Amino acid sequence: MADREERRFAEVSRESVRLMAEGAGVELGDDVAALLAEDVCYRLREATQSSSQFMRHAKRRKLTVEDFNRALRWSNVEAICGYGAQDALPFRSVKEGELFFVEDRDVNLVELALATNIPKGCAETMVRVNVSYLDGKGNLEPQGTVPTAVQSLSDDLLKYYQQITRAILGEDPHLMKVALLDLQSNSKIAALLPYFVYVISGVKSVSHDLEQLNRLMHMVKSLVQNPYLYLGSYVRSLVSSVMYCILEPLAASINPLNDHWTLRDYAALLLSHIFWTHGDLVSGLYHQIVLSLQKVLSDPVRPLCSHYGAVVGLHALGWKAVERVLFPHLPAYWANLQAVLDDYSVSNAQVKADGHKVYGAILVAVERLLKMKALSLSQSAEGHSGAHPGSVVGAASYRVNSPGLSPPPEPLSEAALGIASHLQVGGAGCHWEEWTPVPLPAMYCELYSFFGDSLAVRFSTGPGFGTHSPCTPSQLSNSRKEPPGPASNLDTTRKMPQLTANLNISPRQDGSPRTDPPPPSLSGTGSVRAVPRASSMQRSKSSSSCSRQRSAGLSREVFPKARFTSPQTTPPAFSFLIGGRQMGQRCQGRRPFQTMFATTPPVSAVPPRTYAHKLPVIGRVGKPVRRWTCSHYSLHLPL
C-alpha cells in the first residue's frame, strides 16, 4: 500500500513539516509532525482534485496555478501568490543543507515603474472564419492525408523548412549558400522532400524573377546532390520544374537585359545531372524529355529562346540525343533560323541576336556530336579489341574535371565498372550494328555545309579518308585515337591534338551504370547513360574553366588552313562517298531523317561554300557564341 501510494501521490515528509514549523517558530513533536504531514498530503490531493474541475470547465488540458488557487479559495484557504508566471520556475538546490527551493529574485519595483520600454501588450483577440470543409465529403480525401502529413512534421523540421526556404529565397547570398550546402548534405530531411518539391514547383509563379528562378534551380541541385534523399517519383516533378526553366519563354526574358540564357544553361546542366543520377527512378523519363524537347524545337511558333532551350537541353542529354533529334531536324530548322539571321532590319535586332544564340548553341551541340561520334567509333573498336583504357581514363579524368557537379562517389565508380562490362559484353557493339546512324563523314559533311568553317571539329576529308572503306570506321578512328605516331595522313596528324584533348575530358564511355529498360530506340543504354554525364562534363567545362576555351581557340588558330585546303580539294571525292553511303542507308531506311537527308545530296553537290558564304557574320561570331555560356553581355557582341 505504502509504495502504491507513493506512486500515486506526492508526499510531504514529516521532516519537511517540522522544518516549516521551525520556520514559523513552532517546535513540533514527532507524532504531531507525522499526523500533520499526512493531513497536508490529503489536503493537497483534495485541492488538486477540485482544481482539475476548474481546468475542465476552462476547456484546457493544462492545470494552471490559477486553477489551484481557485480551488483553494473555494475551500476557504488562502491562495498562493507569485506563481502565476507562464514560464517555468527554476528549482534550485543548496548542496550543504539538502535544501530545495524555487528561486525568487527581488524585483526592483522602482525600476519597473519608471521603465521606458513599456510592453505593447498582446495582440487583439479576434475571430477569424475559414471554410474548413466544403460539403463535408468534398474534402474527404485530403482530410485523411494532409493533416497526418502535417502532424508527422515535428516542430524542428517545420522550423528547418521555414528557415531554409527563407534563406534560399531571401536576400542574403551568404545565407543562401549555407542553406544550399546544408540541403545538400543533411541526412534528416526526407520528410520535407515533398514540401521542397512543392516550393520548387513554384517556378511557374516566379517566371518574371530571374533571381528567384536561379535560386530554385540551385535548390534542385542541392536536393539532387543530397546522397541521403531518395527522390523517387518526385524526380518527375523536379524535372518538369527544370524543363520549365529550360523551355518556357519566361516572363523575365522579355527584357533583353535579363540573362535568362545562363539560367537555361544551368537548368539544362541540372537536367542532365538529374537524369544521370536519378534517371532510373522513373521509367521512360528520357523518352519523355526528348519528345518534349523535340516538340518545342519543331514548333516554329515558339520564340527563339525556347528553341535555344531545346537545343541546350538536347545537348545536355548527350550527343545521342543531338544526333537523334537535332541533327535530322537541322535542315528544316535551318531555313527558319537563316531567315532570322538574314534580316538586318533594326526591329529585328533583338530577334536576330537571339537567333545567334540559337546558332551558337546548335554549333556547340553538333560539334560535340561529331567528336563524340568519332570517339564512340574508336571506342567500339577498342571494345572489340578487348582493351578499354579509354574508359578508365575517362572516368578518372571526369572525376578530376568536374568540379561544378560533384556526384556521389559510389555511383561513379560503380558506373565506371558497369559501363566497362556492359560495353564488353557487347551491348555497344550490337547496338552499333543495329543502329546505323548517319555515318560520321556524311554527318560532318552535312554539318559543314551548314556551318562552314565555324565548325571547330575537323576531319580529314582528304584522300586518306576516302580510301578507307566505309565499313571499317573503327580502323579509322583507331588510328586517330592513337597518339600522334607515324601518321599516314597529313590531315589526321593535324587534328590529333584536338581529339586527344577531347578524349581526356570526355568520359562518354562510362555510360550506363544501371541496367534499365533500354531506351526505346537509339544505340542502346550505353549512349543514354553516357550522354548526360558527358554533357554535364562538357557544360561544366565550358562554363567554368577556360581550358576548353583555349582548346577551341587553338583549333581556330590551327585550322584556318584546313578550311581552305580540304574543302577545296576534296569535294568531288567527298560527294561520291556520301552518295555511296546514302545508298546503303536507304536500303535500311527506317529513320525519318533519311528522307530529309535525301534532300541533301543536291545541296551537298553544291559546294558547301555556298552556305558558308551566307554566314560570314556567323563565322565571326563563333568565338563569342562560345563564350556566352558564361557571360551575359555576349549577346550584344556580334552586333
Partner 1 sequence: DTSLAKQKTDIKTEPSTDGFGNNNANDGRVLSASPGSGSSTGSNKQTAAVTPEDQQTLLAVLQFLKKNKLIESVEILRREAGLPENSLDPKATESAGAGSGGAAAVAEDQPDVRVVLSAYSQQGDPTLYEVYYSDLKKFIETVLDCHRAELSQVFYPLFVHMYLELVYNNHESEAKAFFEKFSGDQECYYEEDLRVLSGLTKKEHMRGNETLLDFRTSKFVLRISRDSYQLLKRHLQERQNNQIWNIIQEHLYIDIFDGMPRSKSQIDAMSGSLAGEAKREANKTKVYYGLLKEPEIELPLDDEDEEAENEEGKPKKKKPKKDSMGSKSKKQDPNAPSQNRIPLPELKDSDKLDKIMYMKEATKRIRLGSDNLPSVCFYTFLNAYQGLTAVDFTDDSSLIAGGFADSTVRVWSVTPKKLRKVKSAADLNLIDKESDDVLERIMDEKTASESKIMYGHSGPVYGISFSPDRNYLLSSSEDGTVRLWSLLTFTCLVAYKGHNYPVWDTQFSPYGYYFVSGGHDRVARLWATDHYQPLRIFSGHLADITCTRFHPNSNYVATGSSDRTIRVWDVLSGNCVRIFTGHKGPIHSLAFSPNGKFLASGATDGRVLLWDIGHGLMMGELKGHTDTIYSLRFSRDGEILASGSMDNTVRLWDVMKAFDDLETDDFTAATGHIHLQDNSQELLLGTYTTKSTPVIHLHFTRRNLLLAAGAFNP
Q: Which residues bind partner 1 (CB under 8 A)?
A: 1, 4-5, 8-9, 38-39, 41-42, 45-46, 49, 53-54, 56-61, 66, 70, 74, 122-140, 143, 147, 150
Vertex 260: Cα angle to 256 and 261 (nearest 5): 100
- Give the sign of the dihedral formed by CA 211, CA 213, CA 216, CA 217: negative
Kindly report the number of other CB atoms within 10 A of residue 415's CB atom. Answer: 24
Q: What is the biggest distance separating any 2 CA atoms in the chain, rounded to whole angstroms?
A: 127
CB-nearer residue toward partner 1: 158 or 340 = 158
Residue closer to partner 1, measured from CB, 74 or 101: 74
Reference 611, options 498, 450, 489, 499; nearest CA is 450
Minimum CB–partner distance for residue 45 and partner 1 (Å): 4
Cβ of residue 156: shortest distance to partner 1, in angstroms? Answer: 16
* Complex with partner 1: residue 53 or 488, whichever CB lies closer: 53
- For partner 1, give the closer residue by CB, 26 or 58: 58
CA of residue 469 relative to chain centroid, distance: 44
- Judged by beta carbon, residue 45 or residue 561, the one nearer partner 1 is 45
Minimum distance, C-beta of residue 63 to partner 1, in the bound complex (Å): 13
Residues 312 and 354: beta-carbon distance below 8 Å = no
Least distance to partner 1, CB of residue 173, Å: 33
Please say which residue, 152 or 469, places its beta carbon nearer to partner 1.
Answer: 152
Around Cβ 636, how many Cβ atoms within 10 Å? Answer: 13
Q: What is the end-to-end Cα distance of the chain in Å, rounded?
A: 97
Nearest Cα to Cα of residue 156 among 192, 197, 198 = 192
Half-sphere exposure of 298 (CA within 13 A, CB side): 11
CB closer to partner 1 out of 143 and 186: 143
Q: Which is nearer to partner 1, 4 or 105 (CB)?
A: 4
- Residue among 47 and 537 whose Cβ is closer to partner 1: 47
Would you call 633 helix, strand, or coil by DSSP? coil
Residue with smaller CB distance to partner 1, 60 or 632? 60
Long-range pairs, 442-445, Cβ under 8 A, ≥24 = 442/577, 442/578, 442/581, 442/582, 442/597, 443/323, 443/327, 443/369, 443/370, 443/373, 444/370, 445/574, 445/578, 445/604, 445/608
User: Nearest approach, Cβ of 130 to partner 1 (angstroms)?
Assistant: 6
CB of 245 to partner 1, least distance (A): 34
Q: How far is the CB of 625 from partner 1 (least distance, A)?
A: 55
Residue whose CB is less far from partner 1, 6 or 343: 6
- Rounded to the nearest angstrom, the gap between the alpha carbon of residue 14 and the centroid of all alpha carbons in its chain is 70
Residue 299's Cβ-count burial label (10 Å; 0-12, 13-18, 19+) is: exposed
Rg (CA), the chain: 37
Q: How far is the CB of 41 from partner 1 (least distance, A)?
A: 8
Backbone angles phi, psi at 79, to 5 degrees: -75, 155
CB 231 within 8 A of CB 246: no
- Spatial CA neighbour of 630 closest among 550, 549, 553, 544: 544
- Compute the least distance from the CB of residue 105 to partner 1, in Å: 24
Q: What is the DSSP string of 27-46?
A: ---HHHHHHHHHHHHHHHHH
In the complex, the smallest distance separating the C-beta of residue 21 from partner 1, rounded to whole angstroms, is 19
Closest distance of CB 160 from partner 1, Å? 19
